[in-house]
Amino acid sequence: MQKVRTIVKNHYLFQWLSWRNENAAVRLILDLVSKYNPSKFKGFKPEIILLKNIPRENKLRIFTDYKIKQKATLETIKKWPKIKIADFFNDIDDFLEKMELGSEWRLTIMTVVLECYFFPPFYNFNIIKKKTKKSLILELSGYTTLDDIKDAWKDIQQHQKELWPNYRKWNFTKKSMAHLNLFVKDMLMKGSPNKINDDDTGTKKEDRLTDIDKVGRLYDDWGKLVPREVDEKRVANLRQVRRRFKHK
């Protein structure tokens, strides 16, 4: 499972950054536990941040356990006064800044402090989804690599589908811009009347442009005599372009 590899890599990153900063992680976490979870301070074991190897047969159980711990952490925070919540978030962000960790570690450290349970994040960057603005933001850190993004691409695409369920993607080719210009011109010409003479009365009447009429105007050689088969191919192309853009 790709997520297991990322979790192990993130655990290595955490340990490396901690020791590079004179093992500051343990001291800083103890300060946070003392402040926000004092009942667990005396019994807190720094060893909890030493993640053991994840047995293959226990992957699902471990992921499930972590989700339960995460949920319990968030439920605890909800019960706090707003001022305490703001202070807690600020202290967590201070920890991340000192440890040079990205915001994807926020919930992990919060869970360590409030549930005494350590489990690295699934990604090496943060995915921010804003439903109100229909935007998906990838917040990268200094250690984020292209491989990290590739490893999480399926999850990123799932977030995209949730935000834009009816959005269809297409391949951009050399003809894409020409086809779009043709479609726009066709839409602007839609419903335009064609003034022609009525031979019987000598008066003018309005007639709707046919597709043959339109292609004669849509292409750069308008006004020039072109073979009928060329116009027919252009009509077929125009109709295909309409169908393509209509279903995007």
Give the per-residue pLDDT at 77.
Answer: 97
pLDDT value at 23 more than 90 = no
Collapsing DSSP states into helix, strand and coil, what is residue 2?
helix
| Its pTM surpasses 0.85 | no
Mean residue pLDDT across the chain? 82
The full set of domain ranges for the chain reads 2-122, 124-162, 176-246
The CA distances from residue 91 to 17, 46, 47, 82, 83, in Å, are 18, 19, 22, 14, 12
Instruction: Looking at mean pLDDT, say which of 84-88, 123-127, 148-152 comes out highest.
Output: 84-88
